[in-house]
Amino acid sequence: MLRPKLIWIVCVYSGALWCVVAGGSCGSDAPAPPPVAMTIDTTTGDVAPLPNPWKENGCLLVTDEEVIALFQIEPKRDVFNVRNLPGQAFCLRYWMKPNWRDIERANEQPGSEYREFKNTLVIQVIDYGRVLIARQQFDLLRNKQRHIYEEDVVGLGDDALWSTSTTSLMVKKNHLLIKITLDYTDKPHDNLPHARRVAELALKKMR
């Protein structure tokens, strides 16, 4: 029997867009990237927010074809599904594990420990509008939520953090934050290398 987990995921992500954050560069030996150019709103005189090309294209940052190839999915066999949220850079994908029928039967046994029978990948892009704000928010996440985002991940974007408890990878790129939540492996931390590959695909399309 299907659980309401997917509905919960969509609700949580759509309701918590404001609380994720982004930060600065690690790796002192690498040359610093050029600063992102600022533009001024000629009407108000304020600094204009930087563009977010993924706002209406959450499922294009990493395409279905890329996900299928990366995880070796057979769409019909594995019941591959895609969901997005209008007006937001959000994409939910899920597909069945190869032995999902056996897992479901085991879950129905009295006293059995529940095991997830599907794989879930959520990609979300949070737009802070300005690089400085994104950096401040990311630093806040690192300093105040270290018990959740407990691991620094080097070599991704400007900065990156991993949370084993939520199986989420946060990657900062300029004024944007990519949040990748992956439930794919039996052991939560084993999701990290797979989430990293997803992030690498996304970063190739971001400037």
Domain membership flag for residue 106: yes
pLDDT at 53 over 70: no
Cα(147)–Cα(183) distance, rounded to whole angstroms? 20
Would you state the structure tokens that stand for residue 60, as one six-digit string?
Answer: 């294009």
Amino acid 39: pLDDT = 52
Per residue in 117-173, pLDDT tens? 999 999 999 989 888 999 999 999 999 999 999 999 999 999 999 999 999 999 999
The domain containing residue 78 runs over which residues? 5-15+60-203
Cα(120)–Cα(123) distance, rounded to whole angstroms? 10
**Residue carrying the six token digits 């977010």:** 52
Domain membership flag for residue 108: yes
pLDDT at 11 over 80: no
pLDDT at 29 over 90: no
Number of domains in the chain: 1
Prediction pTM value = 0.75
Domain membership flag for residue 78: yes
Domain membership flag for residue 102: yes
